[in-house]
A and B are shown apart, each in its own frame.
Chain A
Amino acid sequence: MALTNGHHVFGSLHEDAFNKFIKAYRTARPKYFYYACPPLGAGTADVDFWVIPPLPVPGTDAGMPISVQILEAKLDFTPPQAGLNLPAPLVLGPNQFAFIATLEVCFLCGSLIAMPVPPDDKNRENPNSPKRRPPQKDGRPSRDCTKLSVWAIGHPVSTANSGGGRDVGLHIDKIIVKDVGALESLIECYTETMVNSLLDSLRYPVEKFALGSFATLNLADGPLIADNQLKVWADIS
């Protein structure tokens, strides 16, 4: 059966290519893989890492610097590669991909950064009272980090873009983060949101997939994951 399956154009990207693309994208746009509140974050802010606010410390007008970095990220399109061990209840089914990553989360413990307080802050009994500072930790601030292993499964999506065409991308359905105790569900929610934001930024317009000058490509079928590839079919108009 013809690859084009009755359509004008067929395109597919193997998981190996996708992983190469992720590496290349990480090199070109490292900030999408590194979120940090200075003084955490290495390199140039907004280039090497995405600047995020500090983690608020309850009861104060200050926050603790935090960073989240995706150290390793890999995709596995169905069928699974040998050696892929997804933790229960994750199962890689038809038209799905697995996402395996290692995250490093760091706090700059003992360091506090003043945070802007909304002008209509009603939390203080006396709005004119001086800002409350938490008790300072003795000694110098220390960078405390932990690494988290993340497993996820998801499916390909297509969404309308501003150019009137369709963007093809990936979306996480379920994520598992182990060894974080009672915080597991919270960290899973946080991580899923972060990874999906990253995947959203990697969506690609179908119109640019193969043709540039002569004609317009319109997504006709897919995206579909099968045979370790992400597949799309398009018609030329």
Chain B
Amino acid sequence: MDATIAVSEPGVNVVLHKAIALAHASKSDSATWGPFQVGYSASVALSGGVAVLENAPANKLDLNNVHVVGSVSAFFTFDLGLILPTICIPPVQVCVDIPFIGRVCTPQFCITWPSVHVPVSLPFAFDLSASFGFRVDDLGTQWGIVLLIDPFSARFDLTPMGPLIIAAIQNEVSNTLGSIPLIGGLIAGLVNTVIGAFSGVLTPILGAFGSLINLVLHCWTCLMSTFRSDCSPSIKSRRLYRRTLQ
């Protein structure tokens, strides 16, 4: 063996906490789903965490209790006129052509649906634990020790937040429609129409939020997994270990 490099468990923890200190990120995006225009931003910050090196034959790095805190801030803007049917009172307008006077119609009032803007803030917090394997990449002038995230599967699932978003939109639409005279008896049905339209696009919207957060998390895992050194990692006695020079 030409060279030996060993990193102790406390040393790995020092590196871990330096990496976590860098793990503050935010991203934003916007998109249109049907009549709904959605702007959203995600921020994630990591703290804490303890790294434990597992001896052979496990050869693993366990990362425990990394505290993940963040939020998704979003706004939904939509024109109710693109969702709700046209409502006129009375529903039918009768017009007649009168000689020398012209065309005369009965009075009719049609509702002009307003636009609605709904801001939503969705904070989240959870603890992340994962086990990492190792792989060595020959990078030419450097050797890369890559932390393999399998079976790490911290895919962020925002599905439970769906009802909260629907409730916020339902409340805002109800308030907006409630300010329009003469449709009191129709409000419940109109709100249901809007929510019905929104439910059809809720899943892809939540998926986009989740992708944004996972992207932010992925940036950090990339950071963790690009620990590079002039050694290769076979863990023995809680040490990252050696490679023979060519």
**Could you list which residues of chain A lie within 8 angstroms of chain B, going by C-beta atoms?**
2-4, 6-14, 16-17, 20, 209-215, 229, 235-237
Contacts and interface: CB of A to CB of B under 8 A. Distances in A.
Nearest to B228: A212
Contacts of A211: 15, 229
B19 interface: yes
Contacts of A235: 11
Given A2-B239, A214-B227, A14 B15 contact: no
A20 B246 CA distance: 9
Contacts of B228: 212-213
B53 to A, nearest CB: 11
Given A212-B228, A214-B18, A214-B19, A4 B2 contact: no
Contact of A236 (B2, B15, B237): B15
B8 A9 contact: yes
Interface in B38-74: none
A210 B230 contact: yes
Given A2-B239, A4-B7, A12-B3, 18 more contacts: A3-B4, A3-B237, A3-B239, A8-B10, A9-B6, A9-B11, A10-B4, A11-B3, A20-B245, A209-B5, A210-B230, A211-B15, A211-B229, A213-B226, A214-B18, A215-B14, A235-B11, A237-B14
Nearest to B237: A2
A211 B6 CA distance: 12
B165 interface: no
Nearest to A217: B11
Given A209-B230, A210-B231, A214-B18, A236 B6 contact: no
Contacts of A17: 2-3, 245
B15 to A, nearest CB: 5
Nearest to A21: B245
A10 B245 CA distance: 17
A7 B8 contact: yes
Contacts of B226: 213
Interface in B1-35: 1-8, 10-11, 14-15, 18-19
Contacts of A210: 5, 7, 229-231
Contact of A10 (B6, B229, B230): B6
B238 interface: yes
Contacts of B14: 8, 215, 236-237
Contacts of B15: 211, 214-215, 236
Nearest first, the 8 closest Cβ-Cβ pairs linking A and B are A8-B11, A17-B2, A4-B8, A10-B6, A3-B6, A236-B14, A12-B4, A210-B229
A216 B228 CA distance: 13
B13 to A, nearest CB: 9
B2 A13 contact: yes
Interface in B136-161: 142
A13 B244 CA distance: 10
B8 A8 contact: yes
A16 B181 CA distance: 91
Given A8-B10, A210-B229, A236-B15, A229 B237 contact: no
Contacts of A229: 4
Given A10-B4, A210-B230, A215-B18, A4 B245 contact: no
B7 A9 contact: yes
A229 B2 CA distance: 9
Contacts of A212: 142, 228-229
